[in-house]
Structure 1
Amino acid sequence: MAPTPLLGSRTLDRQTARTLPPGPRLPTLVQSLLFATNRKTYFPRWREKYGDVFTIRLVPSSRVCVVLSRPDHIREVFGGSPAVMHAGEGNTALEPAMGSSSLLLLDDEDHVRMRKQLMPAFSGQALRGYADMVHELAVAEIATWPIDTPFKMHERMRNLTLEIILQVIFGVTDVDRLNTLRPLMDKIVSVSPVIMLGGFYPPLLRIPPWRSFLKAQQQVDNILYDEIARRRGNLAGRNDVLTRLLSAGEWTDVELRDQLVTLLLAGHETTATALAWAFHELARRPEDQQFGQNAADHNADGELEAIVKESLRLHPVVYQVGRRLTETTDIAGYRLPRGTTILAAIGLVHRDPEHFPAPRDFRPRRFLSDDPPAPGTWMPFGGGARRCIGAGFSLMEGTEILRATLSAYNLHAPDPTPEPAQAKNVTLVPKHGARVTVTRR
């Protein structure tokens, strides 16, 4: 099926433009730069000025993006027909890295089929089977941390979540192969959007830095294809995600490779950043840290998970998710033309006092109270048919890492002031790396 044309400078007529929600009149390039580097600041400003629904224009082609900030409006999108609300078409920039079979790039029947094959590897039973492996890797990582010396927690969490992906998701346990993969994977997960776009311009792939990225990607692919070949027909005694995928569905090698790389790119930086923010907040808040340590000591998973959830609420790693309309549709009181890009602003909902009292405060207990957040207001993993399939894995991973860390250490903040967020690709990361100091309990 041909992709839906973007509604933008080439397809937007003046009459249609007058029916769109209001929005800033800044040049497209300026809006795009503000969106890419500082959307956490400008989205609230634009909402205050233009209302709960506003329009921005982004590159390429001055595409029309309608931003939604109310849960009831976002539910219209998440609960709408996936055939009308295409998410895969909004992720085409990821194709050079993730591959054309990636779950994030598929729509309609292809997406349903692929998601169905992936789901058994992320069921509740499967997640319980991974928890011990995640905990063991977390214990090994935290044993290397310096005592009484400040360090950047974000870097440590990136190292740990990469190790979890290599061993728990990919199932790689051979020491030599792990030593080969770690530096290659670090190049892959650190890729910038500029490098990924090189896949659409083949001449660029012949010069640095695109050439070096392509070489690393090819080396990783060769190892992954070899790992897949070794695993086929030899699944006994293994409990990793790749093994479960091979057991649960019919896959080509390319399809498996694309899903594994998608899990790497979608699950590495996001989980590492959420945990870095969580430790940053706990180090600055002794009462909440004590709450977490008590939960770790008594294996209170619900309370540990509440810390992860509050970190994802206060510091949404992904500030918005997008859809492209395949046909003209009524949303949020507007009739939006085919080709419009819809942006569900998760970050605006999470900071709305109507849904989260004292929204700027870190309050894990809000998820455990008699009056928890209303359904559809906490949405760090998106929603509807496109809700992140790894959401459960991420929450389990965060719970186990918190349990291991808080059982062993007290956390201290070298600087008690809140650390600002900084845009990194599609995520918002701690600008100074979430510096903390630990001492043994």
Structure 2
Amino acid sequence: MAPTPLLGSRTLDRQTARTLPPGPRWPTLVQSLLFANHRKTFFPRMRAKYGDVFTIRLVPASRVCVVLSRPEHIREVFGSSPAVMHAGEGNTALEPIMGPSSLLLLDDDDHVRMRRQLMPAFTGPALRGYAAMVHELAVAEVASWPTGTPFAMHQRMRNLTLEIILQVIFGVTDVDRLNTLRPLLDKIVSVSPVLMLGGFYPPLLRIPPWRTFLRAQQQVDEILFDEIARRRGNLAGRNDVLSRLLGAGEWTDAELRDQLVTLLLAGHETTATALAWAFHELARRPDDLAFGQHAADTGADRELEAIVKESLRLHPVVYQVGRRLTETTDLAGYRLPRGTTLMAAIGLVQRDAQHFPAPATFRPQRFLTDPPPAPNTWLPFGGGARRCIGAGFSLMEGTEILRAALTTHHFHANPTPEPAQAKNVTLVPKQGATLTATPRQPPAPL
């Protein structure tokens, strides 16, 4: 099926423009820079000025993006037919990095087929099988942390989540291969919006820094294809994600490679950042730290998971998710033309006092109440047919890492919260979530 043309400078006529939701008239480049670097303040200001639905224009082609911040409108987006609300078309800039078979780039029947093949690796029993592996890696990482000296938790979490991807998702255990992959994958996961422009402007891929990035990517691909070839027909005793995928579906090597790189890029920086924010909040709040330590000591997984969920609410790692309309659609009181990009503003919803009392306060207990937060108000993994397939893995991973750290350490940090700054598609702690760790007495056996 031919891709849906973007609604933008080449396809938007003046009459249609007058029927769109209101929004700033600033140049596209200005709006794009504000979106890329300051969306945490840009979006709230636009909502305050223009209302719960507003329009911005972004590169490329001055594309029309309608931003939604009311749960009922977002519910309609997530609940509509995926054939009308294309998510894959909104991610085309990622194709040179993730590959054409990436779950994030597919729509319609191709997306359904690929998601069905991925699901067996992310069921409840599968996640329980990974938990011990994650915990073992987390214990080893925590044991290496300095004590009594400030350090940046965000980088430590990046190191750990990369190791989890290497060993639990890719299933790589050979020491030499791990040593080769670590620096190469670090280059891949550090891809910037500038490098992503290569997806819109392919000629850029022939010059530095795009050419340098592609060279690293090719080296990673060679290792992944070799790993896939070694694994086929040799799955006995293997419990990693790649082995489960090979055992449960019919895959080409290229399809598997694209899913592995997608899991790397979607699950590395996002999980590391969410956990860095969680430790940042706990280190600044003795009562919440004690709550978390008691949960870790007593095996209260629901409470540990609530800490991860509250971190994702208060500090949304991904501020918005997008869809492209494949046909003209009535939504939020507007008739939106085919090709419009819709943005569900996760960050605006999760910081709304109407849905979360005292929204600027870190309060994990809000996820332990009955009833829990209303549907479509907590959206870190998106929703509907495109909800992140790795959501359960991410929450399990966060729970195991918190358990490993909180049973053995106290944490202290400056009471003044660190501001967030944009890094690629995520919002990270500006000082790296700097804190100090000190040992604590291990809990008595239960």
Give the whole-Å Cα distance in 2 for the aligned partners of 1:86 and 1:391.
Answer: 20
Counterpart residue identity of residue 311, structure 2: S
Asked if 1 retains the 8 angstrom alpha-carbon contact of 2:93 and 2:198, the reply is no
Matches within 5 A, 1:400-415: 400-413=400-413, 415=414
Question: CA distance change for structure 1 residues 97 and 352 in 2, over 3 Å: closer, same or farther?
Answer: same
Asked if 2 retains the 8 angstrom alpha-carbon contact of 1:65 and 1:340, the reply is yes
Structure 1 position 197, deviation (Å): 2.7
Give the whole-Å Cα distance in 2 for the aligned partners of 1:159 and 1:53.
Answer: 39
Asked if 2 retains the 8 angstrom alpha-carbon contact of 1:96 and 1:200, the reply is no
Corresponding residue for 1:305?
305
Give the whole-Å Cα distance in 2 for the aligned partners of 1:197 and 1:42.
Answer: 22
Matches within 5 A, 1:159-178: 159-178=159-178
SS at match of 2:313: helix
SS at match of 1:57: strand
Deviations 1:3-36 (A, max 9, x none): 1011111111111111111111111111111111
Deviations 1:122-161 (A, max 9, x none): 0001000000000000000011100000000000000000
Corresponding residue for 1:355?
355
Give the whole-Å Cα distance in 1 for the aligned partners of 2:212 and 2:59.
Answer: 27
Corresponding residue for 1:157?
157
**Alignment size in residue pairs:** 440
Where does the alignment leave 5 or more consecutive residues of structure 2 unmatched?
441-446
SS at match of 2:132: helix
Asked if 2 retains the 8 angstrom alpha-carbon contact of 1:96 and 1:197, the reply is no
Counterpart residue identity of residue 144, structure 1: S
Structure 1 position 375, deviation (Å): 1.5
Counterpart residue identity of residue 353, structure 1: A
SS at match of 2:197: helix
Corresponding residue for 2:415?
416
Counterpart residue identity of residue 168, structure 1: V
Corresponding residue for 1:225?
225
Question: CA distance change for structure 1 residues 60 and 98 in 2, over 3 Å: closer, same or farther?
Answer: same
Give the whole-Å Cα distance in 1 for the aligned partners of 2:438 and 2:164.
Answer: 25
Asked if 1 retains the 8 angstrom alpha-carbon contact of 2:154 and 2:432, the reply is yes
SS at match of 2:259: helix
Give the whole-Å Cα distance in 1 for the aligned partners of 2:378 and 2:244.
Answer: 30
Deviations 1:334-364 (A, max 9, x none): 1100000000000000000000000000000
Structure 1 position 201, deviation (Å): 4.5
SS at match of 1:437: strand
Structure 1 position 185, deviation (Å): 0.6
Corresponding residue for 1:29?
29
SS at match of 2:6: coil
SS at match of 1:16: helix
Give the whole-Å Cα distance in 2 for the aligned partners of 1:17 and 1:375.
Answer: 32
Structure 1 position 416, deviation (Å): 1.6
Structure 1 position 83, deviation (Å): 0.2
Question: CA distance change for structure 1 residues 200 and 377 in 2, over 3 Å: closer, same or farther?
Answer: closer
- Indicate the larger mover: 200-209 or 66-75: 200-209
Corresponding residue for 2:50?
50
Structure 1 position 209, deviation (Å): 1.9
Asked if 2 retains the 8 angstrom alpha-carbon contact of 1:275 and 1:308, the reply is yes
Corresponding residue for 2:272?
272
Give the whole-Å Cα distance in 2 for the aligned partners of 1:324 and 1:381.
Answer: 18
- Indicate the larger mover: 135-144 or 23-32: 23-32
Corresponding residue for 1:432?
431
Asked if 2 retains the 8 angstrom alpha-carbon contact of 1:122 and 1:392, the reply is yes
Deviations 1:86-125 (A, max 9, x none): 0000000000000000000000000000000000000001
Corresponding residue for 1:107?
107
TM-score, length of structure 1 as denominator length: 0.99
Asked if 1 retains the 8 angstrom alpha-carbon contact of 2:60 and 2:200, the reply is no
Matches within 5 A, 1:31-180: 31-180=31-180
Corresponding residue for 1:6?
6
SS at match of 2:91: helix
Deviations 1:187-223 (A, max 9, x none): 1101112223335545434433222211111110000
Matches within 5 A, 1:228-239: 228-239=228-239
Give the whole-Å Cα distance in 2 for the aligned partners of 1:34 and 1:179.
Answer: 38
- Indicate the larger mover: 57-66 or 390-399: 57-66
Counterpart residue identity of residue 213, structure 1: F
Deviations 1:236-258 (A, max 9, x none): 00000000000110000000000
Structure 1 position 66, deviation (Å): 0.4
Give the whole-Å Cα distance in 1 for the aligned partners of 2:81 and 2:63.
Answer: 22
Corresponding residue for 1:369?
369
Give the whole-Å Cα distance in 1 for the aligned partners of 2:310 and 2:350.
Answer: 10
Asked if 2 retains the 8 angstrom alpha-carbon contact of 1:327 and 1:339, the reply is yes
Cα RMSD of the aligned pairs, angstroms, is 0.9
Structure 1 position 329, deviation (Å): 0.4
Structure 1 position 259, deviation (Å): 0.1
Asked if 1 retains the 8 angstrom alpha-carbon contact of 2:8 and 2:62, the reply is yes
Counterpart residue identity of residue 157, structure 2: M
* Runs of 4+ that moved beyond 3 A: 199-207
- Indicate the larger mover: 193-202 or 366-375: 193-202
Give the whole-Å Cα distance in 2 for the aligned partners of 1:46 and 1:203.
Answer: 35
Counterpart residue identity of residue 438, structure 1: A
Asked if 1 retains the 8 angstrom alpha-carbon contact of 2:153 and 2:276, the reply is yes
Where does the alignment leave 5 or more consecutive residues of structure 1 unmatched?
none
Counterpart residue identity of residue 428, structure 1: L
Counterpart residue identity of residue 43, structure 1: F
Asked if 2 retains the 8 angstrom alpha-carbon contact of 1:101 and 1:258, the reply is yes
Give the whole-Å Cα distance in 2 for the aligned partners of 1:375 and 1:85.
Answer: 20
Question: CA distance change for structure 1 residues 201 and 5 in 2, over 3 Å: closer, same or farther?
Answer: closer
Give the whole-Å Cα distance in 2 for the aligned partners of 1:371 and 1:84.
Answer: 32
Corresponding residue for 2:197?
197
